[in-house]
Structure formats: C-alpha cells, structure tokens
Amino acid sequence: MKNKILFPILVLSIAAGVLPLQGQGFIIQKNVFVAEDEVQENILSFGGVVEIKGKVEENVFVFGGSIIVEGEVGDSVVGFGSKITLKSTARIDGDVISLGGILNKEPGFFLKGDTVSFNFDTPEDMRRFFKDGLFGSFMPLLLIIKLLSLFIWFILAVALAALLPRQITYASGQIRKSFWPVCGIGILSMIVFTGLIIFSVFLSFILIGIPILITLILVAGAIKIFSRVVFFYFFGETLTKAFGTKKPSILLAVIVGFLFVSLIGFIPIFGALFAFILSIIGWGVVIRTKFGTTENWFRKAG
C-alpha cells in the first residue's frame, strides 16, 4: 500500500496542472484498459473510459467518464459524475463510491466494503441535470459557486483522509472525549487570533506586518482544512455506525460526513450557525491536539 498516501496528492497536483500525466506506479490518463493478465497499482482518469479486466492493486479514481470493472480492485472504486458498471465477475476489496453519476451492478459481483451512492437513474437524467440544471438560466450564480466549492472540499477531504488518517481519527476522538475543554480552547483561540489579525493589519502600514498577516492567514487556512475533514470523519463515522457498519473505513466515513455537512450547509441561517459552531470546535481540537498529534499539549508543556 506504499502509494496510498501519494494517490490523492497526485489528484490535487494534476488538477492544479503542476505534475505531468504519468507518475511512478500510476496509470494517469484519459482512457485506461487493464488486460486480464495485467496488474496496475492505481488508476486516475479525467473524463475517460476505464475498463478493468485484470487487477488494480489499490484505487480507481475517475472524474466524469465511465468505469467498467470485470476484474479485481484491491481497494476502492470512486467515481465523481461517472457511470460505474460492476460486472458479475468483479471483485472489489474496498468501497464503491459513486457521487452524481450512474451505478450499475450485475448480480454475482463481490464487494468487501460498502457502497456510497448519490446518483441519477439514467444517462438522460444526468444529461438533463448538467444541461438544464447546472448550467441553466435559472441556476443562481451563488449555487454554482457553492457546487464548485464542494468539489474542491471533496478533493481535499479524500487527500487528507489518505495522507493523515491517524491524526484525523485521533482528533475526532478527542472531540468526544474532551468536548467542553475543546470548545473553551476554540473560543479563546479565535479571540486571540482575531486580535493578532487586527494587530498585524496595523503593522502592515509600516510593511513589517505584511509577512505576519500572510503567515496568520496560512495558519488559519490549515486549521480550517484539517478541522473540517476531522468533522467529516466525525459525522461520517457516527452515521455509518448508526446504519450498521461496525468499523467503517476512513475514506467511507469522510465521504459520508462530507455529504452530511454539505447538505446542512445548504440550509439558510441554520447552515451558517452550524458552520460557526464547527469553526469554534475545530479551532479548539486543532490547537489542543496540535493537528491530531497529541492528546493535550498544554498539559504536556506544563
């Protein structure tokens, strides 16, 4: 599983255009065909056709396009706006995650993990949505921006889930274990941070505050991203366990939590209040655990 961490990083890098379309251990191209006697480690495709008759040792990740699995996948099959077809001979040892696409399953295939599906029923439904819904004249601009934002959050969530699984699960556990101390630290941290921002803005008039301000903004961004993915896992784990999954994978929990938090965010007023509360708790758990690396670094320092 040596490339499990590198896989989501490549997704981000390619989307940003900073890496070439080929990496060690990866098939990263539009159309991919894995023959019956062929073995690949990971597959990433944007808008192409991925057909697997042989074996993929780890993940298949496709944006748009289609995925046809007749052979074996050692970990997860993830499609975002994709048509996924699982043949009767398919064997998947991880999860099948289909968001905004079409999922067809033939009887007899083997799935060791779970299925997460938020899909359309037919290709015509998908075409109508993207033609008349997503880009139609009645779609508010703010909603389009919101959907693009959710897409970016989805990529970040998958990336961090693979890059920092131990830290994310640990920080999530500390929310339950030390909820009120986490809230208190979160409120205090946000007050102190606001004061530092105001102070650095004043210093910016004499230039010395500009690098301080930039540093504070970067720190706040890192805290927001990490804490939000922690909450995706927190809510996703709770929901999947409530529906009978005893030990959900971190990828499954993060994606379920992502969907839950995203749906709450669309609710007027309540969504904004919910996000504010998450910010307080998020700052608290990140500062208290030092990005999920220690239980209470204040006590340790003392």
Q: What is the pLDDT at residue 110? A: 92
Residue type, 34: V
The set of residues, in sequence order, having a beta carbon less than 8 Å from that of 149 and lying 6+ positions away, is none
Q: What is the pLDDT at residue 213? A: 85
What global pTM score does this model have?
Answer: 0.57
The tens-digit pLDDT sequence of the chain (302 residues) is 434 444 444 443 443 333 333 444 555 677 889 999 899 888 878 778 999 999 998 888 887 789 999 999 988 888 877 889 999 999 998 888 887 778 889 999 999 887 877 666 556 655 555 555 444 444 445 556 667 788 888 888 888 888 888 999 999 999 888 888 888 999 999 999 999 988 888 887 777 778 888 888 999 999 999 999 999 999 888 888 776 677 778 888 888 888 888 877 766 677 788 889 999 999 999 999 999 888 666 565 44
Q: What is the pLDDT at residue 171? A: 92
